[in-house]
Amino acid sequence: MTRFALTLEFDGTPFFGLQRQKDGPSVQQAVEEAAQRVTGEDVRLHSAGRTDTGVHALAMRSHMDIAKAMTPYRLMEALNAHLRPDPIAVTACEIVPDDWHARFSCTGRSYVYRIANRRAPLTLERDRMWQVGTPLDHDAMHRAAQALVGLHDFTTFRSVHCQSDSPVKTLDRLDVEREGDEVRIHAAARSFLHHQVRSMVGCLALVGMGRWREEQMAEALEARDRQALGLNAPSHGLYFVSATYPGDA
């Protein structure tokens, strides 16, 4: 049995998230079915993170165990052939030690959230950015975001359906930048709560619109109450960017 680490890129628009779902298609199901057709084996995909319906990934790290003798390149090419026409691509594949685990060995995860700050309808980026027509003060958003960096109880920014044992997380980075009409929010941590990034982005957008004072981000955090949440940003602007592991450069 050989353990292969995969890097997946996908457009989350047609999927009910990464994990297998009872009521709709998922990225995991598509990859596992492609692997079954390639190897003839029942293969289980494990991934660094879970994504909601409509969330995208630039480089999701995953792994699967395969008994059939294959080179990483051959496996990658075969999976990509069988994944068509689903918007999923295996962009890298390598053999890793048996104790390497895409989820449990992961020491850091990063996301980016993309906002189209314009009134004109989206065409090329439709379903890939959150469109906000009201002008956003990205500098105010960035200043407000810094209140969330560090070790905190993120109950306010946690979904009621979150399965994490604790709402306490350490947020390593939450930066807001603008390039033309696009506002990007970068978030990095060892792990995140369910809906944490989208909830933080929604409240930062309220700051950017002038509907919240900058200090209200800290006040919402300190409330430790989901009722204090101002807005949960839609899923289609969120991208899983990268996962890091011990020994990575």
Residues identified as active-site: 52
Contacts of 71 (CB under 8 A, 6+ apart): none
Q: How far from each other are the two terminal CA atoms of the chain, in whole angstroms?
A: 28
CA angle 107–185–17, rounded 5-degree value: 65
Listed residue (224, 231, 227) closest to 198, CA to CA: 231
Alpha carbons 159 and 61: distance in angstroms, whole number? 24
